[in-house]
Amino acid sequence: MAVTRSTEGTSSLSAAAAEISKRELVRYILRTQASERAMARAERVLPLGVASSFQFYEPHPLVMQSASGSRMRDLDEHEYVDFTLGYGALFTGHSHPTLCRLVTEQLARGTLFVSPCEDNTLVAEMLVERFGLPQWRFTNSGTEATMDAIRVARGVTGRPRIVKVEGGYHGHHDSVLVSTKPSAEDAGPATQPVPVPATEGLSPSVLAETIVIPFNDLTALERVLAPRDVACFIVEPVMENIGICLPDPGYLEGVRELTRRFGTLLLFDEVKTGITAGWSGAAGHFGIAPDLIALGKSIGGGLPLAAFGGSSECMDAVVTGRVLHVGTYNGNPLCMAAARAVLGEICTREETTRVIECNRRFAADCHAALVVRGMPAHVAQFGAKGCVTWSVSPVRNFRDYIATDFDLAFAQWIWGVNRGVLLPPGLDEQWLMSVAHTDDDLAFALDVFTRFLDTVVDPSRIDDDDD
């Protein structure tokens, strides 16, 4: 959905964006006083006042009190049409009635057995049917799912190294906290990126064992796999932590062929794509069969559930005990009840298709609004997700992403928040459309977006009473 337009005038638009952001930040502070007070209290006992550093943003995050369907309400009693949806975890929307019913029924029957329950099998069978891989294990977060899948890959191949993509985020375990968002100064040459730690506290061995390559670059992949010491290539089939970055035609097929040729296992991280990409995930959408898949977020409908699945060869390592996979809360009956609701009753094949079709139309409407105003931006859309990317050309990798206009992206975000449309605060995220979003929600969001675009074109239009 790229807009073909020269970049002439971009800097004047960025200046307009900076002006809008300045005024909107003042407005934000004035309308979110209860959030500010709550954060001041929280900061005394929680680093940054939050439970995950991703939840913090300047000047202070919105503090929420409740959510239902497509809406969230903050402490200042502002209601938002929520497109953040738990960073893409709530394809069902908030507190879907069916999910609430099944989880409530389970609450009365026990929350933790630490013994098998029949729902473990039922949910695993649903994942087999959707994703094609024959065996699954449950975890509590996407982080654990990618961590355990990588351990399986190392155990099965006996190889120490892994390959990941620059700009890819796969959770907060050490092996993958490399080059998630490196600064341009540290990142090295575009075709041969330098592995950059994403945090202090990593062992130096991590940097030696995690190789970083650009997305959409088969030559780089072949180069790093050729020594035959790589256990797995972990990759999102569609990168969803730099907006939405689609694979070039033939890229995933090339990845599959190269990984097979060099005896490296292919691990699709579908924590974000998963069932929001289509009934059988991105793997099914593109018709590629990886050796391992990590899932999370949307399969749990807001409860902490994730999973990894693997080929028989991979999962035999768990069966024989060569690779240990354990966890007190794994497969707990409460999360299983939620997954039964999500996979079995709410996000059916038909409903998934309906929501994705609806998202396609919404993305096309947003794109048309950009085109009509000659904006140097485009809409990227995949499955039930979408984002406005402030560049003329589509983003093919991390280096393209960091060249997009973050002034415009921030102005668009804060403009929306002040008018009741909540997009993810991390500008690298994307919107998610849920089964709960209504035509009215979408018309409202489109109106707020087009008013933003009109104000970028003519900043004198800013109206303080506009709410």
Ligand X SMILES: Cc1ncc(COP(=O)(O)O)c(C=O)c1O
**Site for ligand X, rule CB under 6 A:** 87, 141-143, 146, 169-171, 236, 241, 269, 271-272, 296, 306
CA–CA separation, 181 and 199 (whole Å) = 10
380 DSSP β-pair partners: 387
Q: Provide the CB-side half-sphere exposure for 258 (13 A, CA).
A: 21
Return the structure tokens found at 325. 């996979």
* Nearest-approach distance from CB 306 to ligand X, in angstroms: 6
Least distance (Å) between residue 216 CB and ligand X: 17
* Structure tokens belonging to residue 62: 């919105």
CA distance 340 to 360: 27
> Judged by CB, which is closer to ligand X: 277, or 336?
277
Quote the tokens at residue 328. 């007190």
Q: How far is the CB of 454 from ligand X (least distance, A)?
A: 33
Q: How far is the CB of 350 from ligand X (least distance, A)?
A: 27
* CA gyration radius, the chain: 22
Select 137 or 170, whichever has its Cβ closest to ligand X. Answer: 170
User: In the bound complex, what is the minimum distance in angstroms from residue 103's beta carbon to ligand X?
Assistant: 19
By beta-carbon proximity to ligand X, the closer residue of 187 and 306 is 306
* Beta-carbon count within 10 A of 88 CB: 25
For ligand X, the closer of residues 81 and 271 by Cβ is: 271
Which one, of 325, 384, 333, 447, lies nearest residue 91 by Cα? 384
Name the minimum Å distance from CB 89 to ligand X: 8
C-beta nearest to ligand X: residue: 142
Is residue 268 within 8 A of residue 292, CB to CB? The reply is yes
Please enumerate in sequence order all residues whose Cβ is within 8 A of that of 75, keeping only pairs 6 or more positions apart, or say none. 32, 34, 35, 38, 62, 63, 64, 65
Closest approach, Cβ 240 to ligand X, in A, equals 6
Amino acid at the residue 143: T
Q: Which is nearer to ligand X, 215 or 452 (CB)?
A: 215
Tell me how far apart the alpha carbons of residues 288 and 296 are, in angstroms, rounded to a whole number.
Answer: 19
Measured from the CB atom, the residue of 69 and 167 that comes closer to ligand X is 167
Neighbouring-strand partners of residue 72: 67, 80
Cβ-based nearer residue to ligand X, 224 or 307: 307
